[in-house]
Amino acid sequence: MKKIGIIGAGSWGIALAALLEENGHDVTVWSKFEDEVNMLKENHEHVTKLPGVKLSEKIKLTTDLKGTIESCEILVMAVPSQFTRSTSHMMKEFVKDGQIIVNVSKGIEDVTYKTLSEIIEEEIPNAEVAVMCGPSHAEEVGRKIPTTIVVGSHKRSIAETLQNVFMNDVFRVYTSPDVLGMEVGSALKNVIALAAGMCDGLGYGDNSKAALITRGIAEISRLGIAMGGKAETFFGLTGIGDLIVTCQSKHSRNRKAGELIGQGKTMQEAMDEVKMVVEGVYSTKAAIGLAKKYNVELPIIEQVNAILFEGKDARSAVNELMLRDKKIEIECSFPEHTND
């Protein structure tokens, strides 16, 4: 049994708290919001973000960040990506040397272009930082629907420790050393999911969605490899796997926000209606900055950025993508035949 602190009481943090408690661990959930903690104590579920997923009375619920960190061996960072730096900064004075922090949020900081694990390492250099991501909606994990995910760490021992902590008969955990590739794939798939939602909102069909997903993973992998990620990662669970589920699922807030934009709502109107953090909006700016830094072409993401921040019409963006210069899909030579 491990003592585990969940930093953040959103839908993903709550789903993982329920899973870890069922795995036999001593779990504490921290939120900075007293009213959220009181609601969880009263209802034993998050009635707005994860209704129907009941929490065991054994799970401790608190606003005491210092107490949570000092009493736990492993910390699960489950705050929205734009609060990763500020939360890490608050945590740093309480974290013990070598304490494991596994980040389960997805995103890239839009000012520094740092991944979330890089932010945590920068703010808390004495911690052992890992990541966990893959196709895993909280709504399904909370209902014990079979899910497969990946833990990434630069140290095999840390990855295997976390694999043992999280894994059970409905939650299968793989390990990977490619932390960077995992984080790039997990962050940028939210941008492509916004585009997938726009396709839905415009009334396009399966052909359009399949093309978007396929060309989307090409863009993600092109940038990720340029940054130092491994090609295999982008065609695994944290790349194409996470992209498929986020572009297709009714649970995806990024896809839903994109759908509303495709129907004619502004970015802010769409975010307000979704009522949850739409990570892809923040990752889009970072992706554009990284594309310039690494001189990588990202046509889909560039159009999403234009729609979100430059007022471009979604239908016009699709037309522009369709009318781009002719390309070859596979970079290899056609065989030459003398009789052609």
**315, pLDDT greater than 90:** no
* Pair 235, 189: CB distance under 8 Å: no
**Which tokens sit at 220?**
């993600």
**96, pLDDT greater than 90:** yes
Claim to verify: residue 158 and residue 229 sit in the same structural domain: no
pLDDT for 161 equals 98
- Residue 334: band (very low, low, confident or very high) from pLDDT cuts 50, 70, 90: low
Least confident of 50-54, 216-220, 325-329: 325-329
Decide if 45 is inside a domain: yes
**Which CATH number is 288's domain given?**
1.10.1040.10
Q: What whole-number percentage of the chain has pLDDT above 90?
A: 81
Claim to verify: residue 41 and residue 18 sit in the same structural domain: yes
**Among the options 49, 60, 114, 189, which is catalytic?**
189
DSSP bridge partners of 173: 149
Decide if 327 is inside a domain: no
The question of whether 155 is a catalytic residue gets the answer no
pLDDT for 272 equals 87
pLDDT for 252 equals 87
Claim to verify: residue 133 and residue 192 sit in the same structural domain: no
Name the residue among 186, 302, 288 with its Cα closest to residue 234. Answer: 186
Number of domains in the chain: 2
Decide if 308 is inside a domain: yes
Domain boundary among 126, 144, 177: 177
Claim to verify: residue 80 and residue 196 sit in the same structural domain: no
Claim to verify: residue 81 and residue 207 sit in the same structural domain: no
Average pLDDT over residues 312-328: 78
Decide if 134 is inside a domain: yes
Decide if 340 is inside a domain: no
Decide if 329 is inside a domain: no
**pLDDT averaged over every residue in the chain:** 93
Decide if 102 is inside a domain: yes
Domain boundary among 177, 196, 213: 177
Claim to verify: residue 241 and residue 271 sit in the same structural domain: yes
Decide if 328 is inside a domain: no
3-class DSSP state of 68: helix
Claim to verify: residue 138 and residue 259 sit in the same structural domain: no
Claim to verify: residue 70 and residue 203 sit in the same structural domain: no
Task: Kindly report, residue by residue over 136-163, the tens digit of the pLDDT.
Answer: 999 999 999 999 999 999 999 999 999 9
**Which tokens sit at 191?**
């941008």
Which of 40-76 are b and which e, b meaning 16 or more Cβ less than 10 Å from the residue's Cβ?
A: beeeebbeebbeebebeeebbbbbebeebbeebbbbb
Claim to verify: residue 164 and residue 34 sit in the same structural domain: yes
How far apart are alpha carbons 185 and 215 in whole angstroms?
14
Claim to verify: residue 133 and residue 186 sit in the same structural domain: no
Domain boundary among 120, 148, 177: 177
CA–CA distance from 231 to each of 4, 149, 199, 235, 297 (Å)? Answer: 33, 18, 27, 7, 17
* Pair 131, 103: CB distance under 8 Å: yes
Claim to verify: residue 223 and residue 141 sit in the same structural domain: no
**Which CATH number is 57's domain given?**
3.40.50.720
3-class DSSP state of 188: helix
Claim to verify: residue 211 and residue 93 sit in the same structural domain: no
**Which tokens sit at 28?**
């504490």
Which domain covers residue 248, as residue numbers?
180-322
